[in-house]
Structure 1
Amino acid sequence: MNFNLRNAVLANVSGSSQEQLENTIIDAIQRNEEKMLPGLGVLFEVYWQHADEQEKQNVLQTLEEGLK
């Protein structure tokens, strides 16, 4: 069986409103389940692909500070 997790996640959230996306992200973080991490990774990938250089730098700075 060939299952593409990225496509499954994208299909699941496609057409979601900002509120629905926020709820999905918050729920995934609050559940603290390993199985939710790939979905968050796909959402981050979508963000990264559409972010400008300033947004990317802000994210990198925030991550760097959060990981200290």
Structure 2
Amino acid sequence: MRTSPLSAASLYYVTVDDNDATVATLQKNGGQVLNGLMDVPGGGKVAQCMDPQGGAFAILMMGKT
């Protein structure tokens, strides 16, 4: 069984303009990508992340409408 640092609680989503740049900045500053980048229906991409203190959140780049 695979364990994950994410719990069954709510996950905050933050919209960003550029997922790749955001992921690079996150990792440069000690954060991690736990799951993703994944395509979402209707366009855009999402990734579940963890900050250096263990706080979980997700980043979302919206697709073109």
Q: TM-score, normalised by structure 1?
A: 0.28
Which entry has the higher C-alpha Rg, 1 or 2?
1
Q: Which has the higher helix share?
A: 1
Q: Which has the higher strand share?
A: 2
Greater RCO (CA < 8 Å, at least 6 residues apart)? 2
Q: TM-score, normalised by structure 2?
A: 0.28
